[in-house]
Structure 1
Amino acid sequence: MGDASNTTKPHVAALASPGMGHLIPLLEFAKHLVTNHGVHVSFLVVTTQSSAAQRRHLDSTALPNDLHVVNLPQADVSSVITPDMPLLTRLSLLCRESVKPLGSIFEQISFPRALIIDNFMSDALDICEELKVPVYTFYTSPPKVLALGLYLPKLDKEVECEFVDLPNGSIQVPGCRPLCVDDLQDSLRNRKVETYKWNLHHASRLTMATGIFVNSWDDLESKSCWFNGLKSDPYYQSLPVPRIYPVGPLIKHDEPVSRSDAYILSWLDNEPCDSVLFVALGSGGTLTKEQLTELAIGLEMSKQKFILVARKPSDMDAAGTYFNAGSNVDDPKTYLPEGFLERTAGVGLVVPSWAPQVPVLRHKATGGFLSHCGWNSSLESIVHGVPMIAWPLFAEQRMNATLLTEEVAVAVKPVGELQDGRKVVRREEVERVVRLVLQGEEGKVMRNRMRELKDSAAKALEQGGSSYDSVSCVVKTWKQA
């Protein structure tokens, strides 16, 4: 485990829930605390039902000397978790069972000055209250989603109907612009189901934390009223909301490229600057068979260069690979349109299941990113100055997509048509948005805006920058504890 009893540096622990969207940013924050702020970190990892992608990431990531990975013991979840459970229910129960031995883990590594958890690890708050260990929440979604989470308990008490049936089609979140109900995550769209209760459970515990870290920075949030609302609206002051610290953008900077994936970057090396669209829908995202066909044909019709990270479609679950990310590599020939690979040879590159996202986004040939709008991927796109096509699938991704398109103005959202209760983006619309981003004037405007944010993101994390100073403020309290 390593010796965590370093007497010259404050020792804190960090604990992420399963899923790459939670593990990656919290691990990057831990590295940032160690490397730039003189903190010793024990990084606690849930090993029960962990994905191949999670194990691979932890094994391949270079860690500084004062960051030690501590594997939590396997939890027996056979009596509480079933494979057919909704994602949020399964994730929440997995976290609840995994944190039970937290007290004994602290005894082994020495009690930390603080524990940093993500927003689905809220059951650790009760344990840490008994142990008298302060808890900070690392919120893995943008402040826009945090504002709604903090308001949700009040909304739950005051609104009788389903939120999606509100008469004006929007929710007035205190201090913020109205939130369109169409953007609500799936777990808030039916208040009778268990996933809604879990969402409310986690949201109602946000005020129990000592502080809340958000993976954003002042300049990005200045384009939106959400963060200002969190700081100044009387509703949040009356709760009271713990102090909120913008500490981002924290993304993967060093992603190793295996020999088997090197051909992807070699292919990009032969393409002109800003000419290639990168299509990747996160570690857990899947499309329906019909939607994948429309996307593929639309890419072909656009006649633009592309890299498509292809994954076997699922008509049942848009988060179909969340718990087995990185473990299934299928033959794209079996599910892409017949003849697609042959017709697009030389124009497009199809990569099964997974690609090294950061090196691809960093490459000069990458000119656009069709993304599910997970917050990690959104930040990676901004940090590397790549405009986006917003293609949200699940969780809070629709809210993120609206933020990126309407408030930050670095993305375009395709228009889908409703079919059998499900939106489908047709091939002609795919062709339109791909050409818009890679060739159109609107794409150039978004690219310039992205490059401005890229510069401000780098400055925020430098010594004297807004995010650097925000972290320093917290570390100072740990050193004085």
Structure 2
Amino acid sequence: MEKKSPSIAMVPCPGTSHLITQIEFAKRLVHLHPDFHVTFLIPTLGPPSPSMNTILQTLPPSIHFTILPHINPKDLPPNADPAALMLLTVTHSLPSLSQALASLISQTHLLALVVHTFSVDAIEVAKQFNLPAYVYHTSCATVLAFTLHYPKLDDDGIVVSKKFGELELKEPLKLPGCIPLHAHDLSDLVRSDFHETFLHVCTRLYTADGILMNSFVDLEPEPIRALQNVASVYPVGPIVQTKSNISSNSSECLTWLDNQPRNSVLYIAFGSGGTLSQEQINELAYGLEMSGHKFLWVVRVPNDGAANSSYLNGAQKDNNPLVHLPKGFMDRTKDQGFVVRSWAPQIEVLRHESTRGFLTHCGWSSTLESMMSGKPTIVWPLFAEQRLNAALLNDGLKVALRPKMNEKGIVEREEVSRVVKCLMEGDEGKEMGRRMEVFKNAAIKARSEDGSSTSTFESLVTKWKNFKI
């Protein structure tokens, strides 16, 4: 790497999906500014998974990586939730990160450190070198607004109780520029077992020199405007993958899609870490069958928890999730649907002309990918900030349906069938499709040469280039 080349370093948190979105940011940066170099300093809980290795070995020449020494899982608390594991892995990696940064500074013209939201402890290392530190917030402006507000939540006088898995408010939370936020949309973020981790992240955000946000002005104008009054935020989105790593196995579903009528298929996937219980898998399967509509479903092994922490290190314990489908389901729906084990080439599936809509866990990357493809959604949030994302899509942007759960937290088969029919054949589904097409065009415009997100990138890079270490 040339010494005079301007460069930044990026610190992701564990989990391939978290790395991917930061890589896409780096690709966008070097596309707009070919003179830039980016180096990833990667904390891990173990050796890279095969999928991570594939991603890292196919990076453009101006994007480099260093895998920091692995953290021993035995040094971390047992039974910690995924968010705490991500944060603690980075925290334990700070000594090796400091050494890596010192080496980079001696070899390159390093201008800034950009860290993931759950890598915020790395900010203190940047400060040791008098290096500007920025947080790349991979979710929407509404989630960022709540995150920055969280330390003051109990001071508002609207919290009645806050217990494990439960939040009661006197009235919806009204943050500047945001839709009213209801208790059930915030519950996963205020769990008692998550409180200390989340509070730590929120507090550290205020020490950053700026927050880069994977959203764009035309998508969330009011929340972004309000945030810019209280913090240095840079809406640089949408940052999304442009293609998937298609294998011979995964290409089978694309071949199946090629043989389906235009706008006839519902795509169902719950992200890289989302799982359903056995009861919920059964209800979803029967509901899809009852709807009569075509579907392409990415199935994972059931799990009573909504998130499986094994995705942080790529561990897989069961390679045949299809055995957990209801008896006879595959035979009865062989002409109606296509079932994929664990993973599908999501970008290509969403762009396909046969795909009509997307039943999603509402992770923000999946949300933006759906938006860039112009596909309306059925939102089925599972954990973390996904309920807030779902509220934005359903209540705010009006591009999503949200199925109702019973008292046990299960979406029953009749409700599955109802929302599928509504999206695939109803007037509400057609209107959502029209609205999503508007946001698709706005997203394309934001990324254009004179678009709002491109202009934000330009101002950010100008600021970096003017920095003298």
TM-score tier by shorter-chain length is over 0.9
Match of 2:93 in 1: 98
| Amino acid corresponding to residue 196 of structure 1 in structure 2 | H
* Inter-partner Cα distance in structure 1 for 2:321 and 2:292: 20
Deviation at 1:205, TM superposition (A): 1.3
Match of 1:480 in 2: 466
The secondary structure found in structure 1 opposite 2:119 is coil
Corresponding position: 1:252 with 2:249: no
Deviation at 1:56, TM superposition (A): 4.7
- Contact kept? 1:279, 1:309, Cα under 8 Å: yes
* Inter-partner Cα distance in structure 1 for 2:452 and 2:271: 29
Match of 1:208 in 2: 207
| Amino acid corresponding to residue 170 of structure 1 in structure 2 | P
Where structure 2 has 5 or more consecutive residues not aligned to the other structure, the ranges are none
- Contact kept? 2:374, 2:436, Cα under 8 Å: yes
Identify the range of structure 1 (333-342 vs 180-189) with the bigger mean alpha-carbon deviation: 180-189
Matches within 5 A, 1:283-294: 283-294=272-283
1:189 pairs, out of 162, 174, 191, with 191
- Contact kept? 1:305, 1:348, Cα under 8 Å: yes
* Inter-partner Cα distance in structure 2 for 1:11 and 1:337: 53
Deviations 1:213-265 (A, max 9, x none): 1101111113xx32232234xxx3xxxx2x11110101010222111211111
1:373 pairs, out of 346, 362, 365, with 362
2:429 pairs, out of 443, 452, 469, with 443
- Summarize the Cα distance change of 1:177–1:309 in structure 2 as closer, same or farther, 3 Å threshold: closer
* Inter-partner Cα distance in structure 2 for 1:321 and 1:390: 24
Match of 1:33 in 2: 29
| Amino acid corresponding to residue 132 of structure 2 in structure 1 | P
Match of 1:114 in 2: 112
| Amino acid corresponding to residue 87 of structure 1 in structure 2 | P
Deviation at 1:197, TM superposition (A): 0.6
Deviation at 1:35, TM superposition (A): 1.5
| Amino acid corresponding to residue 55 of structure 1 in structure 2 | M
Corresponding position: 1:24 with 2:24: no
- Summarize the Cα distance change of 1:204–1:17 in structure 2 as closer, same or farther, 3 Å threshold: same
Deviations 1:128-148 (A, max 9, x none): 111111101100111111111
Corresponding position: 1:404 with 2:393: yes
- Contact kept? 1:275, 1:366, Cα under 8 Å: yes
The secondary structure found in structure 2 opposite 1:395 is coil
The secondary structure found in structure 1 opposite 2:80 is coil
Match of 1:173 in 2: 175
- Contact kept? 1:188, 1:196, Cα under 8 Å: yes
Deviation at 1:108, TM superposition (A): 2.4
* Inter-partner Cα distance in structure 2 for 1:256 and 1:318: 23
Match of 1:459 in 2: 445
Identify the range of structure 1 (298-307 vs 329-338) with the bigger mean alpha-carbon deviation: 329-338
Matches within 5 A, 1:330-479: 330-419=319-408, 423-479=409-465
* Inter-partner Cα distance in structure 2 for 1:114 and 1:120: 18
* Inter-partner Cα distance in structure 2 for 1:199 and 1:53: 30
Corresponding position: 1:144 with 2:153: no
- Summarize the Cα distance change of 1:332–1:21 in structure 2 as closer, same or farther, 3 Å threshold: closer
Identify the range of structure 1 (341-350 vs 87-96) with the bigger mean alpha-carbon deviation: 87-96
Deviation at 1:170, TM superposition (A): 2.4
Corresponding position: 1:42 with 2:39: yes
Match of 2:216 in 1: 217
Deviations 1:74-116 (A, max 9, x none): 233422343x222222221112112322221023233621000
- Summarize the Cα distance change of 1:326–1:357 in structure 2 as closer, same or farther, 3 Å threshold: farther
Match of 1:78 in 2: 74
* Inter-partner Cα distance in structure 1 for 2:187 and 2:385: 5
Q: TM-score, normalised by structure 2?
A: 0.93
* Inter-partner Cα distance in structure 1 for 2:454 and 2:323: 48
| Amino acid corresponding to residue 97 of structure 1 in structure 2 | H
* Inter-partner Cα distance in structure 1 for 2:296 and 2:417: 15
- Contact kept? 2:373, 2:440, Cα under 8 Å: yes
Deviation at 1:410, TM superposition (A): 1.1
Deviation at 1:172, TM superposition (A): 3.0
- Summarize the Cα distance change of 1:145–1:21 in structure 2 as closer, same or farther, 3 Å threshold: farther
- Contact kept? 1:329, 1:353, Cα under 8 Å: no
* Inter-partner Cα distance in structure 1 for 2:54 and 2:427: 38
Corresponding position: 1:227 with 2:229: no
Q: TM-score, normalised by structure 1?
A: 0.91
- Summarize the Cα distance change of 1:250–1:210 in structure 2 as closer, same or farther, 3 Å threshold: same
| Amino acid corresponding to residue 91 of structure 1 in structure 2 | M
* Inter-partner Cα distance in structure 1 for 2:48 and 2:312: 5
- Contact kept? 2:136, 2:212, Cα under 8 Å: yes
Match of 1:162 in 2: 161
Deviation at 1:276, TM superposition (A): 0.5
* Inter-partner Cα distance in structure 2 for 1:198 and 1:138: 18
Identify the range of structure 1 (310-319 vs 208-217) with the bigger mean alpha-carbon deviation: 310-319
Deviation at 1:371, TM superposition (A): 0.3
| Amino acid corresponding to residue 444 of structure 1 in structure 2 | K
Where structure 1 has 5 or more consecutive residues not aligned to the other structure, the ranges are none
* Inter-partner Cα distance in structure 2 for 1:436 and 1:262: 29
